[in-house]
Amino acid sequence: MKILSLSLFLFLSIPSYAKINIIASSQDLKSIAEYVGGEEVSVESLSPGGFDIHFIEPRPSMVFKLKKADMVVKIGLDLDMWTDSLINAAKNEKIFYGKEGYVDASAGIDIMQKPDKKIDGSSGDIHIFGNPHYWLNPENGKIIAKNIKLGLLRIKPEKKEYFEKRYSDFCRKIDDKMKVWKSDMSAFAGEKIITYHNSWIYFAQAFDLQVAANIEPKPGIPPNANHLSFLFELIKKEKIKIILVDNFYSLNTPKEIANKTGARLIVIPSSVAGENSASDYFSLFDVIIKKIKD
Amino acid sequence: MKKILFLLIFNMFFYNLKAQENPVLSEGTPLQGMRGKTLNLPDISALGNIVGYISDDSKDADKNQLSINEVEIAFQGYIYPEMRADIITAIHKHDGDYESEICEAKASFLNLGYGFSAEAGKIHIDFGKVNKLHTHHLPTTDKPLMLEKFFGEHELAGQGAVLKYLIPIFPFYSQIQAGFWDINAHSHAQEEASVLDITGSTITVNSLLHDDSSFSPSDKVYTARWNSSFDMNGQKEIEIGLSGLKGRGAHYQEHKDNVEMIGADITFKWFPDSYKKWTFQNEWMRLKRDIPVGTLNRDGFYSFLNYRADKYWDYGVRLDYSENAWPQISYERSFSAIITRHLTETSYWRITGKHRNINGKNISEGWFQLSFGIGPHSHELE
């Protein structure tokens, strides 16, 4: 009888000590969820570091991960649209749209470049809800953290104090780091830059840069001779010194532009684990800013 | 059986009611199928498939043509929490004429609880690895040969329902499913012929015609499939599947044939970096037809190797072998080389060269394909 009681006690006790199993669609969201959730969570990302999140192929093994999840954290804005079919296939009632374990990290973000006219294929692979690369402004990291915190509170309200403290610490650390990062980037304030894909406007917003043009003439469309001529002229005319390229894109065209114009080609990770030294959300910006400064 | 059915239906309503009574509001991006905002429209999309075809077969009436081969119109949306509806209609080119049909029209119960889900309506049957795919989702211009021989020109689709169960006890993805279907029988093409009867008088009789592409399982058909997937270090994956089918032949009225099919598939995928991808997919099927004079066993397989070199270009080769479904056995082997250029996420063009050996006769063919999509279009995990 005692053994039975003990077993029952242990069985009932397990849920309150079990970690919240979070599946994030990107390494950035994983990093933030790990910070806010602390010891109460175990987090896994569906995307490896250094991969273009547009092109992640949903696979059955991902369904298996979501089947066991208590919470899913999505980038949203159609960037990780592939998670929708995975969530449906996982048949896990905790993480369906609108359920307590469903977190869309984009909620509350001031979305840039929301289309204000009809869009179709002539605009390239444009996102109908606006530019989805919002995590590249550290200030938006705080909103992502808030969304994750709210999800955690829905699942484990008894840990409110713990999650609130972790969230506050995260925001404070962002504020502290922002002072350093802004100071480091002050030499580039107001400078125009070229980027490969239209993925750096939130970063530019945070550090007072201006994205003058992209190497892709339209999102997802490879550069052609006419567009390259336009870029050569623009770079010379505007005296643009920096070309930022996410490290998963082909470097052939960016190198050609850099060689012809003298602009500096900077190859950087655009997400956590995009390279070894970008091991979390804070070090991601350390790495990016160090590469721009160097 | 009745108890299980009752429990499933009970669960279906219980879970959906719970979803309605206790909503946890979530802001953020609406799901595919939840667009349309205040207009309350479903996701509406159109897909087109333009195909040019050349061949050195002098008897091929379809050669040297460029035409729109298929247009697909889809309406997709949610009809209830965790219940979605997909209506996909298609206009196909068939023997030179265009025919419209309901390609799929189904309601999906995404969460019946305890790992169960279900679909009901007209559905592409999940038999093997490729049959479920719509034309524009295929990695090749044409379907693998054995599907044409065993299922006919179109995908094997039936009116019915399928119940799926995600097995929770294994430390890897594993799903089983069982379906029951009603599939329309084929009507025999008939030709009239004049013959002499035993009295020496001339009478007119009907003779039955069939060709290799017109066979498929039909009538009441029962299917089952098990598929699993094994993740290897996050960038490599092996998927395996076993399928089974029991039913009648499409010409049962004439041939009195009972049909059984089994299939096995194995796919290896490797993602070395963000855009590069290797796919090695192999599938085998066996068709068993019990006809009054005996049993026919027919085999078919294909092996497909594809390399995605970057975000725009795919290069693939496919080897096919299949026997026909008819009493007089014939075989066909083919080798295809495929190059695909992706334009956007839903549009691409493709060139395919194919060498066929049909009972020793060699034929070379070529295709140009332009597939395009307009509007939001989604499919379940395939």
**Cβ contact A81–B108 (<8 Å):** no
- pLDDT of A131 reads 93
**Cβ contact A64–B344 (<8 Å):** no
Domains, in order of start, for chain A: 2-171 (3.40.50.1980), 180-293 (3.40.50.1980)
- pLDDT of B96 reads 76
Lowest-confidence pick of A188-197, B35-44, B139-148 = B35-44
> Closest to A86 (Cβ–Cβ): which among B172, B378, B381?
B381
- pLDDT of B172 reads 92
Taking contacts as CB-CB distances below 8 angstroms, the residues of chain B near A105 are 28
Whether residue B15 is contained in a domain is answered as no
Whether residue B2 is contained in a domain is answered as no
pLDDT band at B93 (very low <50, low <70, confident <90, very high): confident
**Cβ contact B310–A64 (<8 Å):** no
- pLDDT of B23 reads 36
- pLDDT of A13 reads 47
The whole-number average pLDDT for the span B317-327 is 92
Instruction: Convert the pLDDT of each residue in A244-288 to its tens digit.
Output: 999 999 899 999 999 999 999 999 999 999 999 999 999 999 999
Whether residue B355 is contained in a domain is answered as yes
**Cβ contact A129–B29 (<8 Å):** yes
Taking contacts as CB-CB distances below 8 angstroms, the residues of chain A near B310 are 250
Average pLDDT along chain B: 84
**Cβ contact B28–A76 (<8 Å):** yes
Number of structural domains (chain B) is 1
**Cβ contact B275–A220 (<8 Å):** no
pLDDT at B381 over 80: no
A vs B, Cβ pairs < 8 A, gives: 138
Whether residue B200 is contained in a domain is answered as yes
Beta pairing, strands B217-232 & B202-209: unpaired
The half-sphere exposure of A144 on its side-chain side, counting CA atoms within 13 A, is 31
The whole-number average pLDDT for the span A91-103 is 92
Any chain B CB within 8 A of the CB of A114?
A: no
Chain position carrying tokens 């379809």:
B62
Instruction: Convert the pLDDT of each residue in B114-123 to its tens digit.
Output: 889 999 999 9
Nearest Cα residue in chain A from B27: A107
CA-to-CA separations, A157 to A35, B27, B230, B304, in angstroms, rounded: 18, 20, 35, 51
Question: Could you tell me where the beta strands, DSSP code E, fall in A93-215?
Answer: 102-104, 192-195, 210-214
Taking contacts as CB-CB distances below 8 angstroms, the residues of chain A near B266 are none
The whole-number average pLDDT for the span B209-215 is 58
Q: In the structure encoding, which two tokens stand for residue A136, read together?
A: 């590249």
3-state class of A112 per DSSP?
coil
Range of the domain at B293: 42-187+194-374
Any chain B CB within 8 A of the CB of A110?
A: no
- pLDDT of B115 reads 86
Asked if B226 contacts B244 with a C-beta cutoff of 8 angstroms, the reply is: no
Taking contacts as CB-CB distances below 8 angstroms, the residues of chain A near B116 are 91
The minimum CA-CA distance between B31 and chain A, rounded to whole Å, is 7
- pLDDT of B15 reads 46
* More confident site: B42 or A290: A290
- pLDDT of B175 reads 94
- pLDDT of B120 reads 97
CATH at B283: 2.40.160.10
- pLDDT of B382 reads 56
Whether residue B16 is contained in a domain is answered as no
Whether residue B336 is contained in a domain is answered as yes
Whether residue B347 is contained in a domain is answered as yes
Distance (Å, rounded) from C-alpha B46 to C-alpha A271?
Answer: 34
pLDDT at B212 over 50: no
Q: In Å, how far from its chain's centre is CA A44?
A: 14
Contacts of B4 (CB under 8 A, 6+ apart): none
pLDDT at B20 over 50: no
Q: In the structure encoding, which two tokens stand for residue B301, read together?
A: 């397989």
Instruction: Convert the pLDDT of each residue in B219-274 to its tens digit.
Output: 899 999 999 999 988 789 999 999 999 998 877 777 778 899 999 999 999 999 88
- pLDDT of B169 reads 86
DSSP A53-64: GGGPPP-HHHHH
Any chain B CB within 8 A of the CB of A161?
A: no
> Closest to A60 (Cβ–Cβ): which among B25, B229, B274?
B229
The minimum CA-CA distance between B126 and chain A, rounded to whole Å, is 14
- The interface predicted TM-score of the complex, written ipTM, equals 0.82
pLDDT at A216 over 60: yes
**Cβ contact B113–A120 (<8 Å):** no
pLDDT at B69 over 80: yes
- pLDDT of B22 reads 38
Length reported for chain B: 382
**Cβ contact B345–A74 (<8 Å):** no
Asked if B326 contacts B316 with a C-beta cutoff of 8 angstroms, the reply is: no
- pLDDT of B203 reads 59
The whole-number average pLDDT for the span B50-72 is 89
Lowest-confidence pick of A14-18, A177-181, A236-240, B206-210 = B206-210
pTM, to two decimals: 0.83
Whether residue B10 is contained in a domain is answered as no
pLDDT at A139 over 70: yes
**What's the CA angle centered on B328, arms B325 and B334, to 5 degrees?**
60
**Cβ contact A98–B23 (<8 Å):** yes
The whole-number average pLDDT for the span B86-103 is 87
**Cβ contact B274–A84 (<8 Å):** no
- What's the DSSP call for residue A1? -
- pLDDT of A120 reads 74
Asked if B218 contacts B250 with a C-beta cutoff of 8 angstroms, the reply is: yes
Query: Which amino acid, one-letter code, is at B100?
Result: S
Lowest-confidence pick of A124-128, A260-264, B85-89, B246-250 = A124-128
> Closest to A125 (Cβ–Cβ): which among B26, B231, B344?
B344
pLDDT band at B6 (very low <50, low <70, confident <90, very high): low
Average pLDDT along chain A: 90
Name which of B234, B125, B237, B225 is nearest B167 in CA terms. Answer: B225
**Cβ contact A61–B230 (<8 Å):** yes
The whole-number average pLDDT for the span B163-189 is 86
Asked if A235 contacts A257 with a C-beta cutoff of 8 angstroms, the reply is: yes
Total Cβ atoms within 10 A of residue B192: 8
pLDDT band at B74 (very low <50, low <70, confident <90, very high): very high
- pLDDT of B33 reads 61
- pLDDT of B352 reads 96
- pLDDT of A78 reads 87
